[in-house]
Structure 1
């Protein structure tokens, strides 16, 4: 039986940061993005409002800006190794993020199987129908399970915060990666640290059974 691994990006693969923050840092809009991020984290700003607020700031972005922000971002260690192991086992991986697709899709070059994100057009109006919401993650998980003929109990979600709650409620196998209190309370297992390989080894116990040894940072 194969399996599906679903990864959040902001705060999970990106340590204590997000695509929007990294782009804002590179383009001089960091203060504005920090304000929007704070509002979104508290629930005061929904996904569509966040996308609408950021959209004007993205309109002058170049490929060089996006590449520089991506390359300088604080990625968790071991991302490529984890995705390579998943592929070698004949399993599936996906990143599901509410961040701009033009940033998230660069992870395809690192070996993730597919990416699903808010499709923000540069040089065109924002299409609200292409903005992902918290609930979108659970919907995409169900669609991918059907596509790959993976039963829900063979699907593992990795996340850290508010945007992952619907997904964690929909799935049995969940791993909080540097998660906040809300997501840790929902997660089957939790990992605190800077290496995705350790979180992934922990997640494998949900699919393959427990190991006799414990990973550092795992609870």
Structure 2
């Protein structure tokens, strides 16, 4: 697989990490919402996104058409739209604490999302951010395991040293390829294929499902 240029990581880390932790964004780090919903809200047009998300779930439009129409609805909202949306949106607790703990143990961190790259990049604590460039290069659910596999190869890691967190059906293709997974406030379909399940409001607590030692603050 060749990762398109727009899906390349925002930052890179050393080439020999001890492990890799992969996080979904919409619904996982953004509980109960999506980046597109928050962008639309900041742009003053949430109705359009609600309709587009319903049409996408029903299979009436594909991800490319979704991106085209979504971008049209907020393109005039200003250059700072994505940052404004990020600053105002709800986020799960414990993100920075979790990233700090992983980094201290030489675990590379990766955020992977179908949502717009400009929003995802506002999560500045991740070593790698893979996201979509609207409307030309859209990351689909089936791309997630391919991106993770390519990153594993680049970093010299295998599945035994990779963990993943997600919440929805779009994470099913990735979860099916990994054995160390945590479904966070998940849909039934994802919970059915996940190794572990966490329901709550703290990603730090979700990490403890895999690493109980993190109960220590050291």
Q: TM-score, normalised by structure 2?
A: 0.85
What SS does the corresponding residue of 1:15 show, helix, strand or coil? coil
1:143 to 150, 153, 156: 150
2:121 aligns to what SS in structure 1? helix
Question: Where does 1:33-182 land on structure 2 (aligned, <5 Å)?
Answer: 33-108=49-124, 111-120=125-134, 126-127=135-136, 130-182=137-189
| Structure 2: distance between partners of 1:146 and 1:42 | 35
1:3, 1:38 → 2: CA distance? 37
Q: In the alignment, what sits opposite 2:3? A: none
SS in 1 for 2:123: helix
What is the RMSD computed on CA atoms of the aligned residues?
A: 1.7
Match of 1:187 in 2: 194
Give CA-to-partner distance per residue, 1:111-153, whole Å, 9 cap, x none: 1111000012xxxxx32xx111111111111011111111112
- Counterpart-to-counterpart distance in 1, 2:40 and 2:76: 12
Given that 2:182 and 2:197 are in contact with CA atoms closer than 8 Å, whether structure 1 keeps it comes out as yes
Unaligned runs of 5+ in 2: 1-16
In the TM superposition, residue 44 of structure 1 has moved relative to its aligned partner by 4.4
Structure with greater helix share of residues: 1
Work out which structure has the larger RCO, using CA pairs closer than 8 Å and 6 or more positions apart in sequence.
2
Q: Is the 8 A contact 1:41 1:162 kept in 2?
A: no
Alignment pair present for 1:11 and 2:27: yes
Write the distance in 2 (CA, Å) between the matches of 1:192 and 1:28. Answer: 31
Structure 1 residues 45 and 156: alpha-carbon distance in aligned structure 2, compared to 1, 3 A threshold:
farther
Whether the 8 Å contact between 1:4 and 1:93 is mirrored in structure 2 is yes
The aligned counterpart of 1:123 is none
- Over 3 Å counting, the alpha-carbon distance change for 1:159 and 1:41 in structure 2 is farther
Structure 1 residues not aligned, in runs of 5+: 121-125, 206-210, 214-219
> Which runs of 4 or more aligned residues in structure 1 lie more than 6 Å from their structure 2 counterparts after TM superposition?
none
CA deviation after TM superposition for structure 1 residue 55, in Å: 2.0
